[in-house]
Amino acid sequence: MISRTPVAAAASLGLCALALGGAATAAAAENDDQAMVSVFHAVPGLDVDVYANGDELIPDFKPGTLTDPQPLPAGSYDLKVFKAGADPKGKPAIQKTVEVPAGANATVVAHLNADGAPQLDAFVNDTSDVAAGKARLTVRHVAAAPAVDVRAGGTPIFKDLVNPKEDTATVDAGTVSADVVLAGTDDVAIGPADLNLKEGTANVVYAWGSAKDKNLALKVQTLTGMHSAPSGVNAGATNDPDAWPAYAAGFGLLGLAGALTARRVVSRGSRA
Amino acid sequence: MTVLLAVSGATVLALAPSRESLPPTADFDARTAASPPAAPPVRAEDTGSPTTTPSASPVSSAAVPRWLDIERVGLRAAIEPRGIAADGSADIPEDPEKVGWYRFGPAPGEPSGSAVMVGHVDSRTGDLGAFAALFDVRAGDEVTVRRAAAPPVTYRVVARARVDKDRLPASAFARTGRPVLTMITCAPPFDAERGGYQRNLVVTAIPAAPTG
C-alpha cells in the first residue's frame, strides 16, 4: 500500500528530523513499521512551528500549506503547535497525542473546530485500489462552520457533514464542479471549484477556514497509484446471443481456428 | 450446422489441452503464460456520478495515438481513445474496423508501462474485425503507431499468447515497467451461453528503437 504513494519530493521537507536513522527514504516506507504522514495547516492567520515528541517537525508553517507524504516510524506522537518563533517550552497553541498506525497513510490536520477553536486531528487516508475508470473522493469538514452538504454539478453527494467528520465515495474519473452549501440549503459557502479527479487516484478535499471570518476555502490532497486493470477485454461480437461468430462462418484466414473447428467436429462425431 | 456444432461443442473443446491450441509460434506463449493470473480488481462501490465529464487523458494531445499499422498482415486501423464499459471491462469501439486505446494507461511512445490496444475479432454480421489480423502476426512483425502531432512509434512483435479471458494478466495493463505495446482481441472457443469468446489473444510488441 504505502509503496504506491509517491515520495519523490519527500527529501526536501523538514520531517526528516523525525525519521530516525535516515529512514526518510522511499525504501524505508516499505517497512511494515512505517507510516506515510502528511501535515495540513488549516488554522487561518497563524504561522506556527510544529513539534513532535519534543523535536521541531515543521518550522514556520504557513496556513493553507500541506506537506507531501513522508515515511515516519509508526507509533505515538506528542504533537505541539506553537506560534512561529515562540518558546517551545511554553504553553502550546494546540496539543494532542496522535497514534500513527503501522502501514497507514495518514494526514494530520491542525484546524479550527466548529466553534472556531484550534485543534489537531489525524485522518487515515484510504489507499485501497479503486476499480478501473474510477477515482475516490473524500471530503473532510475541518472548518469553523456548521453542517454542510457537498455538491457535484449541483447534486448533493455528501450530506450533513459536520466538523471534524469525513465522507467518501467512489466516482467516475473526470472533472466535477463542486461546491459546499449549508446543510439542506442552496446557500453556497464555498465554491464552486473544478476538481479534476484522475483515474486511479484518491482525492481528499478539505473544507477549512472560518465562516465568521469569511475565509472558508477548499484544499485538495491527491494520492496516486490506486488504479486497477479493467475486469477483462470482451472483443468479440459477444453481447448478442444471435451473433454469428466469425470463426464459425469460415474463419479461413485462421488456419488454426479452422483446425479447431474440424477437431471439434471429429470429437463430437466420435462421441456420438 | 457448423454453428450449432461450434456452440454445443464448446464443452468438448474445453477438455482439449490448451497447449494444442497454440499457434506454430508456440515460443510466443512463454511470456504471457508465465505471468501470474490477474487478480480480480477491487470492486469499489459505485455511487454513480453522472456529473463527471470524462477526464482529459494524461497524455499530451500531440501524443494521442491515431492509426495502428501492421503492414505485413494488412492491418491498418483507426484508433479511438476508450475507457471503461459499464461492466468494468475495457471499452471497445462499436465499429469493428477501429481499435481502442486504453486511455487511462500509458500511450504508445511513453517511456514506461503497457500501452494497450483492444479491438474486435469479428462483427455481428460475421465480418472480421480489425484485430482478426492478429491471428496472422509473427515474431518480428513491425507495428507502427501514428500519432496526432508527434512522430510515429515503431514496435516489433515479440510474443503472442492465448489466455482464458478471466486470466488476462494484470501486467497487460501495467503502468510502470518496460515500455510495451499490448494488443488484445478475442479468441475461440465461442460459447454463446457463456458470453461468447472464452479466450483472449494477446500480442506483445517492444519498441523497435529507443522511445523519446
pLDDT digits 0-9 by tens, B29-79: 433 333 333 333 333 333 333 345 554 455 688 899 999 999 999 999 999
Distance between A269 CA and the closest CA of chain B, angstroms: 10
Q: Give the burial class of B163: count Cβ atoms within 10 A of its Cβ; 0-12 exposed, 13-18 middle, 19 or more buried.
A: buried
pLDDT digits 0-9 by tens, B144-182: 999 999 999 999 999 999 999 888 988 999 999 999 999
Q: What integer pLDDT is reported at residue B3 of this predicted model?
A: 39
Helix (H), strand (E) counts: chain B: 3, 8
Question: Average model confidence (pLDDT) for chain B?
Answer: 77
Asked if A132 lies within 8 A of B3 by C-beta distance, the reply is no
Q: What integer pLDDT is reported at residue A238 of this predicted model?
A: 46
pTM of the model: 0.74
Q: Which residue of B has its CA nearest to A263?
A: B13
Residues A185 and A157 in one domain: yes
Asked if A171 lies within 8 A of B52 by C-beta distance, the reply is yes
Residues A53 and A151 in one domain: no
Q: Which residue of B has its CA nearest to A170?
A: B46
Residues A1 and A109 in one domain: yes
Q: How far apart are CA A93 and CA A90, in angstroms?
A: 9
Nearest to A220 by CA among A195, A249, A187: A195
Phi, psi of B33 (to 5 degrees): -65, -30
The pairing of beta strand A34-42 with beta strand A105-112: parallel
Residues A117 and A219 in one domain: no
pLDDT < 50 positions in chain A: 1-30, 238-272
Residue A149 forms part of a structural domain: yes
Residues A10 and A121 in one domain: yes
Residues A22 and A115 in one domain: yes
Quick one: average pLDDT of B186-201? Answer: 84
Which grid coordinates are listed for A161? 457533514
Residues A111 and A132 in one domain: no
When comparing pLDDT for A2 and B104, which is higher?
A: B104
Phi, psi of A24 (to 5 degrees): -80, 60
Residue A272 forms part of a structural domain: no
Residue A71 forms part of a structural domain: yes
Give SS3 for A49: strand
Asked if A237 lies within 8 A of B123 by C-beta distance, the reply is yes
Chain B residue numbers touching A130 (CB-CB < 8 A) = 42, 44
Domain end marker among A82, A104, A125: A125
When comparing pLDDT for B188 and B26, which is higher?
A: B188
- What's the CATH number where A176 sits? 2.60.40
Asked if A174 lies within 8 A of B53 by C-beta distance, the reply is yes
Q: What integer pLDDT is reported at residue B205 of this predicted model?
A: 97
Distance between A22 CA and the closest CA of chain B, angstroms: 27
When comparing pLDDT for A154 and B209, which is higher?
A: A154
Q: What integer pLDDT is reported at residue B54 of this predicted model?
A: 54
Q: What integer pLDDT is reported at residue A207 of this predicted model?
A: 97
Does residue B23 have a pLDDT over 50?
no
Q: What integer pLDDT is reported at residue B191 of this predicted model?
A: 80
Does residue B209 have a pLDDT over 90?
no
Q: What integer pLDDT is reported at residue B40 of this predicted model?
A: 36
Asked if A246 lies within 8 A of B129 by C-beta distance, the reply is yes
Asked if A264 lies within 8 A of B9 by C-beta distance, the reply is yes
Residues A120 and A53 in one domain: yes
Asked if B83 lies within 8 A of A268 by C-beta distance, the reply is no
When comparing pLDDT for A243 and B121, which is higher?
A: B121
DSSP B83-145: -B-TTSSBP--SSTTSEEEETTSPPTT-SSSEEEEEE-SB-TTSPBPGGGGGGG--TT-EEEE
Domain end marker among A76, A96, A125: A125
Edge to edge, the sheet with strand A166-172 lists A166-172, A134-144, A202-210, A217-223
Residue A48 forms part of a structural domain: yes
Q: If pLDDT is split at 50, 70 and 90, which confidence band does B197 have?
A: confident
Domain with A256, as residue range(s), is 237-267
Domain count, chain A: 3
Q: If pLDDT is split at 50, 70 and 90, which confidence band does B210 have?
A: low
Q: What superfamily does domain B24-35+61-207 belong to in CATH?
A: Sortase (2.40.260.10)
Using CB atoms, which residue from B21, B166, B186 is nearest to A236? Answer: B186
Residues A119 and A37 in one domain: yes
Q: How far apart are CA B128 and CA B122, in angstroms?
A: 4
- Report which residue type is found at B60: S
Residues A146 and A259 in one domain: no
As a residue count, chain A comes to 272
Is some CB atom of chain B closer than 8 A to the CB atom of A152? yes
ipTM value for the complex: 0.71
